[in-house]
Amino acid sequence: MALVVFNQKGGVGKSTITCNLAAISAAQGLRTLVIDLDPQGNSSSYLLGETGYEDGVSVGGFFEYCLSYSFKRMDPSDYIVQTPFENLHLMASDPELNELQTKLESRQKIYKLREALQQLGEDYDRIYIDTPPALNFYTRSALIGAKGCLIPFDCDDFSRKALYTLLENVQEIKADHNPDLEVKGIVVNQFQPRANLPQRLVNELIAEGLPVLQPYLPSSIKIRESHELSRPMIHLDPKHKLTLALCALHEVLTQQRQAA
């Protein structure tokens, strides 16, 4: 099952959550893929560090092929690289994504990622998709092709106001394009339990019946070191409180998958 991590608001921890959940899956022996659809490429930098990748072996290369007239059957695995971590692979971001978007939209290639995900689902146990902070062509492509969506929430009033629009957008895509799409949960990120506002906002979301997942991910400066070193938390500090919370969240999502 492909899982999209999506929020139209930037800076809520999409890439951090994507890469750390994927790293936990891989560390548990599951063959895992991250697809980085964000032109900023934060997930790609997080997982590859300075190793880099071959030109064209990226999500940009994949979409370039979608625009071609080749009669050869597309193999999306041609655009995937191995990360430094066992069982963890990446379809890396590409700076050309912004330029490609208009061409892809005009040629109606919105379902090409779904086709690729169906093929890749035969090779991977888990697929995580990082998206841009906008409901654009790439985000729509991901939501059309995936079975689940995770929504990071960073405990401020702006995030809350944006959340309702985001949920409506996901439901619209579900109704129009992908009846299998489900919001798997709202991930509370950078949670500070001693602060009144975060606790109040989360409690209000729960009271409204929204699917808030537990545990909440605590705020920690350790994540900055994790980003700088390009080492997900499970590899940097397996016993850290944030790592333990991420592992617990991963277990919740695994249980959801088993129950489905």
Identify the bridge partners of residue 32 per DSSP, sorted by sequence position.
88, 126
Q: Which residues pair with 5 in a beta bridge?
A: 130, 150
Taking the model in full, what pTM does it have? Answer: 0.96
Residue 162's pLDDT is: 85
Residue 212: how many other CB atoms lie within 10 Å: 17
Contact assessment for residue 66 and residue 101, using Cβ atoms and an 8 Å cutoff: no
DSSP character for 216? P
259, pLDDT greater than 90: no
Contacts of 125 (CB under 8 A, 6+ apart): 25, 30, 31, 32
- CB under 8 Å to 243, separation ≥6 — which residues? 233, 234, 236, 237
Give, rounded to a whole angstrom, the gap between the first and last alpha carbons of the chain: 11
Question: What φ, ψ does residue 111 adopt, rounded to 5°?
Answer: -100, 0
User: What are 54-63's pLDDT values in tens digits?
Assistant: 778 999 999 9
> What integer pLDDT is reported at residue 53 of this predicted model?
65
What's residue 159's pLDDT? 81
CATH superfamily placement of domain 2-259:
P-loop containing nucleotide triphosphate hydrolases (3.40.50.300)
